[in-house]
Amino acid sequence: MGGIVGFTFLTLVSYLLIVLNIPFLIVPIVILCAIFVSKPLGRSIKDIKIKFNLQTIIVIAVFVLGIAGQMAVISPSGITQNGNLLFWSAHGHDGPWHIALMEEVKKGWPFENPIFAGEKLVNYHGE
């Protein structure tokens, strides 16, 4: 629960700082929050006792292989090749869509749907 509240708080603070045109304060605030949280988090982590047996090793191996497999597919997405920005997998549609949305935000209010010229952007999916 604390992690959810923390991420929500930092996201809202980031939005506020961007609206106030002082986004350079985002990184120092995140660092200060990390320092503030690190001591209690460190104590909590030290209290965790892991028994290394065959079952634990198998579970860790499955997690490591799963994470490595996911990253092998997803992490190269968004690279530049021959001057083109390439997206695939889960980012095949979402990557270009988010870039187009951010370009619309840069242009200012009212936001237009990047897919349909002249159409107002009415929600996240543009419908």
| CA angle (24 as vertex; 77, 20 as ends), nearest 5 | 110
- At 26-52, the pLDDT tens digits run 899 989 988 888 888 788 888 888 888
Q: Where are the domains of the chain?
A: 1-49, 90-127
pLDDT at 1: 58
CB–CB of 120/113 below 8 Å? Answer: yes
Give the DSSP letter string of the chain: -HHHHHHHHHHHHHHHHHHTT-GGGHHHHHHHHHHHHHHHHHHHHHT-----SHHHHHHHHHHHHHHHHHHHHHTTTTEEETTEEE--TTHHHHHHHHHHHHHHHHH-SSPBPSSSTT-B--STT--
Residue 127, pLDDT > 60, answer: no
**Residue 59: band (very low, low, confident or very high) from pLDDT cuts 50, 70, 90:** very high
> Mean pLDDT throughout 76-94?
78
**Residue 68: band (very low, low, confident or very high) from pLDDT cuts 50, 70, 90:** very high
